[in-house]
Amino acid sequence: MFRSFLAPDEGLLLVIGRDSRLDSSIHMLFVPFDLAVFWINAEMIVVDKVIAKSWRPAYFPAKAARYTLEIHPDRYNDYEVGDQVEFKNA
């Protein structure tokens, strides 16, 4: 929030204590640009993805997730639902 832009190689990984649809939801209030958002469960499987539009009140994943990855929208096609991911240096 409150940033003016996001570089293609930047992002944010949000981690919650358990898989949850509610706890892994996001809002885009005070975010002046769109984001590619990926929800990832405890098994490190992408369970949902969306282009989150700026200033929208809420986005919830289709399935419960433990991790929410927010990156530049140009990277939306980097991951697909069902992909297994691994975090390095996160």
**Model pLDDT, residue 72:** 97
Number of domains into which the chain is organized? 1
Each residue's pLDDT tens digit, 50-81: 999 999 999 999 999 999 999 999 999 999 99
In a domain, 26, yes or no: yes
Domain assignment present for 16: yes
Neighbours of 7 (CB within 10 A): 8
Residue ranges making up the domain that contains 61: 11-78
Q: Phi first, then psi: what are they for 73, rounded to 5°?
A: -65, -20
Q: How many CB atoms lie within 10 A of CB 10?
A: 11
Q: Would residue 87 count as lying in a domain? A: no
- Whether residue 35 is contained in a domain is answered as yes
Strand locations in 1-90 (E): 11-20, 35-40, 46-52, 65-71
Q: Does a structural domain hold residue 50?
A: yes
